[in-house]
Amino acid sequence: MISAQEALERLREGNARFVSRQRNLDALTSERRREKVAAGQEPFAVILGCSDSRVPAEIVFDQGLGDLFVIRVAGNIVAPSQIGSVEFAVARFDTRLVVVLGHSNCGAINATIEELGRGKKEQSRNLRSIVDRVRPSVEALLAMDCNPEQLVHQAVRANIRMSANQLRHGSEILEQLIQHEGLMVVGAEYSLETGVVEFFEGV
Ligand SMILES: [Zn+2]
């Protein structure tokens, strides 16, 4: 089993390779590797990331087939099906690190800020179910009166923190594993501009 700290180190190193363009995509996706993991997977980290097309987890962490168990949803929100996916991965594969991966200038955050500013509700109830989960992070910040750019930046981080806390405390299975089995849930932000992932919460 790969410990949470070791997994974190692998992700940091992988992101450094991505940023410095020393990636090795051929080895990560080779036929040999595909055949090896077809028999079974042992992902060393679970990533709950945003669906944004510019933040594919495997690419920004320079990982290949079988390395990461990835859940992507707009705004990296936590609803029951996301918790269930994380529970499944950590229980089935003994994965010890869970990363909530948000990113700069996230569209889900911007949409939530816009909606709160307009005072009008999103028409689609399906979309609204996402905005409603982001809303508490943004509302707390709106009361603080910061400039628009700062607001987005801080709301992105607040939303990542909220998702991480929901994973830590929204599941008995995960809570037990955190207390007794070394499971870690951490928060990270990817910069669209630099490609750097900053682990800023829970590490
Ligand atoms: Zn996003």
Q: Which has more confidence, 119 or 81?
A: 81
76 CA to centre of ligand 1 in angstroms: 7
Q: Name the residue with tokens 């919460």.
A: 201
134 CA to centre of ligand 1 in angstroms: 11
- List pLDDT tens digits, range 49-66: 999 999 999 999 999 999
Nearest Cα residue to 141 out of 106, 117, 169: 117
50 CA to centre of ligand 1 in angstroms: 5
- List pLDDT tens digits, range 18-53: 999 998 777 788 999 999 999 999 999 999 999 999
Lateral strand order in the sheet of 45-49 = 68-72, 45-49, 97-103, 184-190, 197-201
pTM of the prediction? 0.95
The secondary structure of residue 181, as a DSSP letter, is S
User: Which residue type is seen at 48?
Assistant: L
CA distance 50 to 35: 29
109 CA to centre of ligand 1 in angstroms: 7
180 CA to centre of ligand 1 in angstroms: 33
65 CA to centre of ligand 1 in angstroms: 23
- What's the mean pLDDT when you consider all of the chain? 94
Give the containing element (helix H, strand E) for 101: strand 97-103
Q: Which residues contact residue 122 at a Cβ distance below 8 angstroms, ignoring those fewer than 6 apart?
A: 111, 115, 128, 131
197 CA to centre of ligand 1 in angstroms: 14
Residue 68 confidence class, pLDDT cut points 50, 70, 90: very high
5 CA to centre of ligand 1 in angstroms: 26
22 CA to centre of ligand 1 in angstroms: 26
CA distance 159 to 153: 10
